[in-house]
Amino acid sequence: MNIYDLTLKELEEKIIEMGEKKYKALQIYTWLYKKKVKSFDEMTDIKKEFIEKLKENFVIGTIKIEQVERDKDVNKYLFRLSDNEFIEAVLMRHDYGLSICVSSQIGCNMGCKFCESGRRKKVRNLTTGEVVEQILLVEEDLKERISHVVVMGIGEPFDNYENIIRFIRIINDPKGLEIGIRHITVSTCGLVIKIDSFAHDAEGANLAVSLHAPTNEVRNKIMPINKVYKVEEIISAIKKYIEKTNRRVTFEYIMLKDINDTDKCAEDLSKLLKGINCYVNLIPYNETANIEFKRSDMFQIMKFYDILKKNNINVTIRREFGSKISAACGQLRSKKEEA
Ligand code: SAH
């Protein structure tokens, strides 16, 4: 068992099962997440016999950095998993700190038409530990602390819900990586049944919804999941979520030329979001070789932005990172596997 799969509470239970005192779990946790050691032998305040028992029961980590593409304020990491699958994470340097975008699954079943990662069906969920390790390995590579986490890499986090909630507990725990809950964001394509539970399972964390269209007509063309959860169901789940949490929600909106970027779409979107405590993040589409969609031109993105503004919708245009270094969602993995 990968020791990074466990919350402190779960590790305590295991340690008790192994016939040892509960407080040893905290000692181990401190070695793992504060001193960041990679072997049990380095845990010098733990007795030899117990270290042997720990080695019989656990491994410390299962994934490895396979490749890094480095640029000024963005690094792209490709990881090799123990079953020789690959996943990606992207590290971004902001003025407020380092932020990492982690993957949640190998492949993805949501099938969004514009998305590179979605070209490959889900192979399996990532384990909790595999998500935690993405952060630990990048911190080790950079010798710097990561302050912000977004679950926006390959996969649909709400289709791997339990592991992602456990991941949030571990990285948020003051005894673990101690990343502030308000610095943690999960992005979903809109799995409505999980939006509800997220409000209490990850209190204080940020929720982003990949809306990408203001109407079912437009959304059906680009996101098959819309056949299951309609735009109005997402909106009513979000309203409930905001009522419960009092948190502002982000709607992501990829700008796809002539698909969802018309003036009419901007007006429809304004109507849809009127009065909701949210902001819209307009994302210039990252074109990929394998998919025919084109990025909207900057003029139209600005026009779309102005229409939302005029209608009093909070809106930003996402700063672009890493399109040069194939940091766009799943492209590094595709290159690796198609090479
Ligand atoms: N499944 C989750 C998280 C992973 S996708 C979700 O749907 O939110 C993370 C974000 O990247 C989503 O908003 C997704 O729509 C967007 N995205 C996917 N491909 C993209 C591309 N080529 N260019 C820009 N954004 C993209």
| CB under 8 A, 24+ apart: contacts of 162-166 | 163/104, 163/125, 163/126, 163/127, 163/128, 163/131, 164/104, 164/131, 165/201, 165/202, 166/5, 166/7, 166/128
Instruction: Give 338 Cα–ligand 1 centroid separation in angstroms.
Output: 21
Q: Residue 321: which pLDDT band, with cuts at 50, 70 and 90?
A: low
- Confidence check: pLDDT of 161 > 90: yes
Query: Which atom of ligand 1 is found nearest the CA of 159?
Result: 1
Cα(147)–Cα(285) distance, integer angstroms: 26
For 179-219, how does the pLDDT look when each residue is reduced to its tens digit (9 = 90+)? 999 999 999 999 999 999 999 999 999 999 999 999 999 99
Alpha helices in 111-160 (DSSP H): 128-142
Instruction: Give 177 Cα–ligand 1 centroid separation in angstroms.
Output: 26
Cα(147)–Cα(235) distance, integer angstroms: 30
The per-residue pLDDT for 318 is 85
User: What mean pLDDT comes out for the span 324-329?
Assistant: 52
Pairing of strands 184-188, 148-151: parallel
- Calculate ∠ Cα 171-177-179, nearest 5°: 65
Cα(1)–Cα(57) distance, integer angstroms: 6
Nearest CA to ligand 1 atom 10: 152
- Calculate ∠ Cα 181-184-186, nearest 5°: 130
The DSSP call for residue 87 is: E
The per-residue pLDDT for 163 is 98
- Confidence check: pLDDT of 339 > 80: no
Cα→Cα distances 116→53, 154, 238, 292, 311, Å: 44, 9, 27, 11, 33
Residues of the chain with pLDDT > 90: what percent?
91
Cα→Cα distances 37→31, 41, 119, Å: 6, 9, 37
Nearest CA to ligand 1 atom 12: 210
User: What mean pLDDT comes out for the span 34-46?
Assistant: 96
| Tokens representing residue 52 in the block | 């042997």
For 256-294, how does the pLDDT look when each residue is reduced to its tens digit (9 = 90+)? 999 999 999 999 999 999 999 999 999 999 998 889 999
Beta bridge partners of 283: 254
The per-residue pLDDT for 258 is 97
